[in-house]
Structure 1
């Protein structure tokens, strides 16, 4: 299905008068002007949701276009469509699209950035999004950790800082049972403190931090432990705490 979506996405720009060339893209209207993937995404990705297709096929086509362009703006158009008057998008197709790309052995920066700044920072969507991309599956990840599932778990944990602590804490605790996920858990805890919208409970986060099996020279572990032990919840609520910890631990 994913390969079919990519193939459909490769045909779709040509139908819009846009062709891929060696160094980028060109349009039929201005064949001498080289376009970047980002420019193509901004100009045409939203039109996917005006296609005469059912909603599920529109979503699959949009994800195929994401695979083709590898540009964050495609995920923005997916999010816009989900929140539009015609939305929401079909849940299973939407989140299956995210899960597949989080599991794939290729760059997933556009997808993880989308989760972080769009779905996880918005507290009206973060609980559902986190559950769909990891929370519902964490027991399976720990019990039968294929490389693809572990890859997805690592990527989600690392960008989960903005997810509210009561939502992500059970998943964090379950993930503790798989040592391979400990470095990603550490980065998730650190982001939970440092992100503008990061969220954690200091005592509970400290208890998890102290159980992580990490290399002894793990950067910022001591500083994070100090701010959590002092009861600080977020870098931006206690702006001097991290600098104090850096000085103390240096």
Structure 2
């Protein structure tokens, strides 16, 4: 699926006069100027949503560009289109696209960064986005784990720091039933404390931490346990708490 979308995007760029040359790109307008994938994304990704296609096909083409260019900016254009006067984009196609790329055995940094800083940090979208990429089917992931489903679950848990605790707690608890996800739940808890917009409830998070089967020398485990036991909710709300924990646990 991804490869077909990527090839469709490559053909579309060629129609715009843009083609790949080794690790770079060139346009017919300035064939002597090498462009980076990021420059191509900034210059052409938004044009996808002006194509004479229905919104679902525009979105599929945009995801193809994301596969081809691997640039976060493509996800920004998707979000802009979703919030535009012509939006919202078809939710099934939007979240199918995210889930598919979260499950793929390839780098997903652009996708997870998009979830983290755009969808999860915005309280207007974090609950629905988190549900779409993991919350609605975490029971299936735990009951019938595959490499792809585990990959998606781990990636979402690790970037879920900004999601409100009341939204993600049950998903965390369900994920804990699968030892393969314990490390990802831990990283989610750690991000929930350290992210600027991270959210957790110290007592509940400490209880979850106690159920995780982790090596005792896991980096930051002792410090996280220390700050949670002291009732701290967030690194930025309790300046110095983490440093105190580091000193206490050293």
Question: TM-score normalised by the shorter chain: which range applies?
Answer: over 0.9
Asked if 1 retains the 8 angstrom alpha-carbon contact of 2:133 and 2:156, the reply is yes
Count of aligned positions: 250
Q: Residue in 2 aligned with 1:71?
A: 71
Structure 1 regions of 5+ residues with no counterpart?
Answer: none
CA offset at residue 6 of structure 1?
1.6
Select between 164-173 and 4-13 the one with higher mean Cα deviation. Answer: 4-13
Within a 5 Å distance, the mapping from 1:35-184 to structure 2 comes to: 35-184=35-184
How many angstroms does 1:137 deviate by? 0.8
Q: CA deviation at 1:7?
A: 1.6
Q: Offset of 1:156 from its aligned partner? A: 0.2
Separation (CA, whole Å) in 1 of partners of 2:189 and 2:3: 35
Partner SS state of residue 33, structure 1: strand
Deviation at 1:231, TM superposition (A): 0.4
> Could you say which residue in structure 2 is the equivalent of 1:226?
226
Structure 1 residue runs of 4+, over 6 Å off?
none
How far apart in 1 are the matches of 2:140 and 2:198? 26
SS of 1:233's equivalent? coil
Deviation at 1:199, TM superposition (A): 0.1
Cα shift at 1:98: 0.2
Q: Is the partner of 2:213 in helix, strand or coil? A: coil
In the alignment, the residues of structure 1 paired with residue 23 and residue 100 of structure 2 have an alpha-carbon distance, to the nearest angstrom, of: 28
- 2:201 & 2:4 partners in 1: Cα distance? 44
Q: What TM-score does the superposition give when structure 1 sets the normalisation length?
A: 0.99
Aligned to 1:21: 21
Partner of 1:4: 4
1:174 CA displacement: 0.3
Aligned to 2:207: 207
Q: Distance in 2 between matches of 1:33 and 1:92?
A: 39
Q: TM-score, normalised by structure 2?
A: 0.99
How well do the aligned residues superpose, as a CA RMSD in angstroms? 0.6
